[in-house]
């Protein structure tokens, strides 16, 4: 088993004072988990939904999840071979790109990958998502909507009117086209129509094992190709 490298004190004084204590605590928590758990898994998230991730956390109460603040997590693990807290953790740090996180656990790789491969949930698309199908409404009564929603539906772009107290579509209307980027109005309409066009999915990208410091890039470098979309609040952290 490789010897633990000595943790180095890292100054966070270049960051804004607001939240500095929280960031320092995060660094300490992550370093504590490095010593406590057998495995660290790097994961990416598609179509993030806080409630769904919370559900996973509840199922994995014997593990620790860290999501967001990629640069702070990278500092805690070590950005380089010289500064890493244990062997090969810098390989995790350099893959912290975009919407991703890490989970510390004692669960073996086969169990973790199998769980997340099966844990895929459909959900409503949001503005900016790509439409997965063309949705067209035919003229006629829209009886699923109460009469008092008619003004709101018109505001969202539906050509409607009230006819004998029933919301009625006056002509054929295409809500969205397959492959197009959804607008806020289209996303709201799809939700009102109970049309799911998004999938919440967590993908394991890499795994690090404490016992021998072994690192495996399961995602074949996908994380290295993603743009780093961390907030400007962390840009000056070293």
Mean pLDDT within 66-77: 91
The parent domain of residue 99 ranges over 26-123+199-217
Is 107 in the same domain as 210? yes
Whole-angstrom distance, CA of residue 77 vs CA of residue 74: 5
In 117-189, beta strands by DSSP E: 120-123, 135-137, 140-141, 160-163, 166-169, 173-176
The dihedral sign for the CA sequence 157, 158, 159, 164: negative
**What residue spans of 160-213 are helical by DSSP H?**
184-192
Sheet holding 166-169, edge to edge: 140-141, 166-169, 160-163
* CA–CA–CA angle 61, 126, 205 (5° rounding): 45
Asked if residue 21 belongs to a domain, the reply is no
Name residue 10's beta-bridge partners.
none
**Which CATH number belongs to the domain containing residue 144 in this structure?**
3.90.105.20
pTM exceeds cut of 0.95: no
Question: Per residue in 214-229, pLDDT tens?
Answer: 999 987 555 555 544 4
Is 81 in the same domain as 156? no
pLDDT of residue 107: 95
pLDDT of residue 153: 95
**Which CATH number belongs to the domain containing residue 55 in this structure?**
3.30.70.1730
Is 78 in the same domain as 54? yes
């Amino acid at each position: 088993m490789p010897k633990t490298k000595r943790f180095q004190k890292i100054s966070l004084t270049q960051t804004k004072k607001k939240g500095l204590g929280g960031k320092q605590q995060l660094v300490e928590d992550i370093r504590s988990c490095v010593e406590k758990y057998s495995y660290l898994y790097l994961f990416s998230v598609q179509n993030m939904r806080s409630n769904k991730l919370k559900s996973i956390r509840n199922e994995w109460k014997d593990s620790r999840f860290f999501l967001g603040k990629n640069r702070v997590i990278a500092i805690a693990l070590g950005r380089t071979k010289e500064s890493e807290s244990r062997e090969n953790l810098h390989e995790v740090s350099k893959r912290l790109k975009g919407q991703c996180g890490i989970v510390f656990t004692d669960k073996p790789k086969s169990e973790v990958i199998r769980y997340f491969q099966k844990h895929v949930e459909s959900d409503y698309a949001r503005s900016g998502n790509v439409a997965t199908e063309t949705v067209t409404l035919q003229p006629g009564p829209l009886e699923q909507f109460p009469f008092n929603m008619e003004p709101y539906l018109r505001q969202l772009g539906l050509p409607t009117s009230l006819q004998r107290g029933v919301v009625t579509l006056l002509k054929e209307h295409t809500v969205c086209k397959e492959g197009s980027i959804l607008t806020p109005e289209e996303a709201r309409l799809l939700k009102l129509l109970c049309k799911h066009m998004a999938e919440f999915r967590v993908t394991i990208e890499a795994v690090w094992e404490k016992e021998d410091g072994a690192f495996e890039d399961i995602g074949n470098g996908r994380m290295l190709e993603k743009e780093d979309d961390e907030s400007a609040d962390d840009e000056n952290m070293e």
